[in-house]
Amino acid sequence: MEYIYAALMLHSAKKDISEDALNATVKAAGLTPDPAKAKMVVSALQGANIDELLKNAAAAPVAVAAPAAGGHAPAKKEEPKEEKKSEEEAAAGLSGLFG
């Protein structure tokens, strides 16, 4: 994820998004650069219009919950509702504890 953030920072600064630039940005953040991740991000962004991607991402609805692997969302369990007890019932319950 740090490489995506680094790429966005470089794009915002109107700098070239290259492997060296990504590794330098990640290193400047105090992390250990991983050349394989930098190469993967650069190749994924090759020819991509980042401004258009950001514009589309901002307009996309946010998913609340993803379905489970089987394609079915897990059923929600309803919590049993506690009935309110009267003060007399509560006192009777306490008297059993203290004799």
Domain residue spans of the chain: 2-59
Q: What is the pLDDT of residues 25-83, one digit of tens each?
A: 999 999 999 999 999 999 999 999 999 988 888 777 766 555 656 655 556 666 655 55
CATH topology of domain 2-59: Arc Repressor Mutant, subunit A (1.10.10)
Provide the pLDDT for residue 57.
Answer: 83
Six-digit token pair at 65?
């919950």
Q: What is the pLDDT of residues 67-96, one digit of tens each?
A: 656 655 556 666 655 555 566 666 665 555
Tell whether the torsion through CA atoms of 19, 20, 23 and 28 is positive or negative.
Answer: negative
Six-digit token pair at 27?
């290193």
Provide the pLDDT for residue 34.
Answer: 95
